[in-house]
Structure 1
């Protein structure tokens, strides 16, 4: 499948910069004002209607995409040479290349931007982001088709709120087109999906959590892309997705942004959370290299307890699926704080957390070896040893708490245990454990930071799971 690609520069209107070269390269080129286009470039085509049932066939291939040679692992290294030599004293230490322009920066030398993948890392990361955009497009449309306006009304959401979700779907068409144009003709296509929600409240909670790991998954790799040009465009799309996530939080009656910093997660974490909801993809679909970890379920997920208020969850087994850990909601129950005339209203305080330090969190995790994802063609794996810790990844923090194992996976295929929600601050006055965040079970507690968090992957026993802390 081939399509034309154009990027735009807001100079004297929408100015087409270039068309796609067959290998996906897009070179920025400004045209004259006299050739300004009055219509936008075409969107990437996608199915208007898809089935939403589990995959029932036999996979033709299994496992993640692999290269002919695989190394033994990436070890932690020291501080790179020169990383601490810049004095940071507020003075200029090199000649200015032009008036008012400080020396340094990447892509600041006047070279023509080329929007393409520059490495396997780039292509696989952007392909993952495209898988994410496709599922969100289908997800938003499915909820609007599956549930009526009266269903949304009963959940406290108005016709205007439905229109907003429909507009979010339009945004996803644009995002998918942009990433497809960068990747070229082999860019992943839209697939068929299977969702766990059964009513509007579960749909909104699922959307809230899907947009969270979509956003966090991009933040995790954005600064590592070799193509800074592609990173720029992806930044401009993922900031829109961040706004979508806040809207869905508000629809649930949650404070839209209780944290000071947004979290980033490794690509394999995002793929682990995404893949179980993909039923099947075209036979020639671009495969991904990322790992699928065993699933992790939070048995007592914190949740919004009633209209306009928050609470600390009730009994066990209150989620409809592992990974996203969407909270069960009986048909007709109103878990949003909206009145039906304008959607969910803001929670009045960002400190009205759903959970609290010292809370016991009950966990269940699977053993490796389960077929998941498109066409059941990916297999969950782990390189870790025995389960010992729970890692809490939120804002700028990577924090561990001991895991009390009640039953391991050796005999039943399911492990059970619990941990205690930690009490810590990112900075004074900012509880680190807040918002829609991530946990996983690990075999050790390596010291990591947001920029090198992917080094945790060999230590992940199961997870991640989305923890609704606030």
Structure 2
């Protein structure tokens, strides 16, 4: 067996100081003066206030007098749509809180403060699900002049090799108790909006992800009966948790929409097509979809030009990580079988997401990221089997790189199998006596040729600049590992091959290949690390695919 591995452990720390910010209320930060940028955060929304100075101090809180919505262009551009951004006071809720507390509403700090609304998922009127059957009017990713075919491999920046981590301070402190360095720590007022094409397209991709998660969580509740949830081991409280997670997605979609500049820069919700037919399949699909949603953000957040946007994005994706863990628990999987969560490039996340978006309104914003040819593991380990080593070929349901495991016959299923080590009913933790996958396992693969119409309205086209596939890249935790692709054949427009699952560890005692992780096919085995993984894109021949290693 041949493989090539690189392991990197790093810590990214960024301190953000905001002396110019002048209101902190209920954990919210608000700026009183108007700037060219966004300067108020309220309930996860970012809005620009008026140019009026702060005019009231009450109950120890500083309040800005009036808040306006983002300015609308005089002539709405293509793709413009609107949603309510005007804060208001929920008087009924405030009176209810006062009644419960037994004190006047005026004595409760913040009870009468205006609160910005969440963006409605119904602004498009989309309520249906299923595949797209129309003809696209636009095809391909949004693009401009490309300056090169790939990012060159350069040596490290010499400035990043000079710091001596000896426990001492080497520069004067800007203020007491604050070491020198850091980005965004010089007292400049934070600007909460995207600052580059890279920022915009990254956050736009994140918004597409938030919209599908909001719809998916609601769709699961609407599709399956209470009896089906009960048979899967879930209670009314578990169903409410799913509903609450959908509410979280409303907040996330609102935050990202406003970071994109409000209605003029954001995009509305779409129509979706899901591959599951049972509750367990729905949870397996959802834990995979939330996996690449989370990993897609970890892959780009450290590269954003706007550190302020990265800060807010981190605070939302921390919740996404908890959602992924919950859905693993609902699927009877061990909640977090890895020590580190991996990051993937934007084009990987978009390739995985696009097959599940049927159509989008004509005023939706188009993405710049690449759609790679589809990759499939023919013997994907079936997480619904009590013995996954008995997995045969094509034991997945539906389509796409996140296709869920098919429910096996009752006698072979671990759902409701009340035997310790062989049960995958919903639980806080389920430890499997027989692992889903293992080093040395033969993995059989098939992949498409480029040129397939995918994504919203079938308006994106898969492509690759790679040469013939020679390797399988395994991306998990802090590792980028390769195994050779062998027995390559082609038949009826599809390509086939096989590989051997490598045996590598992140650190001693932590198998690198575990959990729901990522594989793709490449034409070279170039070493990449977590921070520069997107440089592999010109060498990706097909994929990625979510490999169910544990």
| TM superposition score normalised by structure 1 | 0.91
Give the one of 442, 445, 455 matched to 1:373: 455
What aligned pairs does 1:96-111 form with structure 2 within 5 A after superposition?
96-111=173-188
Tell me if structure 2 keeps the 8 A contact 1:24–1:181: no
Shift of 1:41: 1.0
1:38 equivalent to 2:113? Answer yes
Q: Distance in 2 between matches of 1:270 and 1:24?
A: 29
Shift of 1:9: 9.5
- The equivalent of 1:271 in structure 2 is 350
Secondary structure of the 2:276 match is coil
- CA change 1:128–1:402 in 2 (3 A) is same
Q: Distance in 2 between matches of 1:346 and 1:392?
A: 28
- The equivalent of 1:121 in structure 2 is 198
- The equivalent of 2:69 in structure 1 is none
Q: Distance in 2 between matches of 1:462 and 1:20?
A: 50
1:224 equivalent to 2:299? Answer no
1:355 equivalent to 2:437? Answer yes
- CA change 1:22–1:272 in 2 (3 A) is farther
- The equivalent of 1:304 in structure 2 is 383
Q: Distance in 2 between matches of 1:458 and 1:346?
A: 41
- CA change 1:153–1:401 in 2 (3 A) is same
Tell me if structure 1 keeps the 8 A contact 2:37–2:191: no
- CA change 1:273–1:21 in 2 (3 A) is farther
- The equivalent of 2:321 in structure 1 is 242
- CA change 1:24–1:315 in 2 (3 A) is farther
Secondary structure of the 2:483 match is strand
What aligned pairs does 1:68-467 form with structure 2 within 5 A after superposition?
68-184=145-261, 185-306=264-385, 309=386, 311-320=388-397, 321-329=399-407, 335-336=414-415, 344-349=426-431, 353-408=435-490, 412-467=492-547
Tell me if structure 2 keeps the 8 A contact 1:258–1:351: no
Tell me if structure 2 keeps the 8 A contact 1:300–1:314: yes
Shift of 1:73: 2.1
Shift of 1:282: 1.0
- CA change 1:14–1:158 in 2 (3 A) is same
- CA change 1:260–1:318 in 2 (3 A) is same
| C-alpha RMSD of matched pairs (Å) | 2.6
- The equivalent of 1:3 in structure 2 is none
Shift of 1:328: 1.1
Shift of 1:300: 1.1
Shift of 1:224: 0.3
Shift of 1:110: 1.1
1:13 equivalent to 2:26? Answer yes
Q: Distance in 2 between matches of 1:437 and 1:23?
A: 41
Tell me if structure 2 keeps the 8 A contact 1:259–1:430: yes
Shift of 1:332: 8.0
Shift of 1:83: 1.2
Secondary structure of the 1:401 match is strand
Shift of 1:347: 3.7
Q: Distance in 1 between matches of 2:459 and 2:360?
A: 10
Shift of 1:252: 1.4
Q: Distance in 2 between matches of 1:22 and 1:300?
A: 56
Q: Distance in 1 between matches of 2:278 and 2:62?
A: 52
Q: Unmatched 5+ residue regions in structure 1?
A: 1-7
Larger Rg: 2
Q: Distance in 2 between matches of 1:402 and 1:115?
A: 45
Deviations, residues 72-114 of structure 1 (Å, cap 9, x unaligned): 3211111112110011111000001111110000111111101
Shift of 1:299: 1.0
Shift of 1:45: 1.6
Shift of 1:413: 1.8
Give the stretch that moved more between structures: 312-321 or 388-397: 312-321
Tell me if structure 2 keeps the 8 A contact 1:300–1:318: yes
Give the stretch that moved more between structures: 226-235 or 186-195: 186-195
Give the stretch that moved more between structures: 119-128 or 328-337: 328-337
Give the stretch that moved more between structures: 423-432 or 27-36: 27-36
Q: Distance in 1 between matches of 2:32 and 2:288?
A: 35
Shift of 1:261: 0.5
Tell me if structure 2 keeps the 8 A contact 1:156–1:338: no
Q: Distance in 2 between matches of 1:16 and 1:373?
A: 38
Q: Unmatched 5+ residue regions in structure 2?
A: 1-20, 42-48, 64-109, 419-424
